[in-house]
Amino acid sequence: MAPDSGSVSAVILDVCSGAASDVGAVREENQDAYLVRDPVFLVADGMGGHRDGRLAADLVVAAFRDAPWSRWATPQVLGAAVAAAGQEVRALAPGDGRAAGVGAPGATVSGVALADHDGVPSWLVFNIGDSRTYLLRGETLSQVSVDHSELQGLIEQGLSTAEAELHGDAHAITKAIGAGLHSTPDPDQWLVPARVGDRILICSDGLTGELSDPLITALLMAYEDAGAAAEELVAAAVRSGGRDNVTAVVIDAVTVAAASPELADWTDPLGGHTRPNVPAPGLGVDA
**Residue 276: Cβ-neighbour burial (10 angstroms; 0-12, 13-18, 19+):** exposed
Please report, rounded to a whole number, the percentage of residues in the chain having pLDDT higher than 70.
Answer: 75
Query: Which helix (H) or strand (E) segment is 246 a member of?
Result: strand 246-257
248 DSSP β-pair partners: 20, 203
For β-strands 106-117 and 199-203, DSSP reports them as: unpaired
Residues in contact with 51: Cβ distance below 8 Å, sequence separation at least 6, in sequence order: none
pLDDT of residue 1: 36
DSSP secondary structure code for residue 173 in this structure: E
pLDDT of residue 134: 98
* Per-residue pLDDT tens over the stretch 91-137: 987 654 444 455 789 999 999 999 999 999 999 999 999 999 999 99
* Per-residue pLDDT tens over the stretch 17-62: 999 999 999 999 999 999 999 999 999 999 976 578 999 999 999 9
What separation, in Å, do the N-terminal and C-terminal C-alpha atoms of the chain show?
59
Query: Which helix (H) or strand (E) segment is 126 a member of?
Result: strand 120-128
Cis peptide before 193 (omega within 30 of 0): no
* Per-residue pLDDT tens over the stretch 222-280: 999 999 999 999 999 999 999 999 999 999 999 999 987 666 555 555 544 433 333 33
Answer for the pair 120, 11: CB distance below 8 angstroms, yes or no. Answer: yes
* Per-residue pLDDT tens over the stretch 153-202: 555 556 556 655 556 565 677 899 998 888 899 999 999 999 999 999 99
pLDDT of residue 31: 96
Which fold is adopted by the domain 12-259?
A: Phosphatase 2c; domain 1 (3.60.40)
Does position 2 have pLDDT exceeding 50, yes or no? no
Q: Round the average pLDDT of the chain to a whole number and report it.
A: 84
Q: How far apart are the C-alpha atoms of 177 and 185, rounded to whole Å?
A: 7
Q: How far apart are the C-alpha atoms of 142 and 112, rounded to whole Å?
A: 14
Nearest CA to 98 out of 205, 182, 183 is that of 182
The residues spanned by each domain of the chain are 12-259
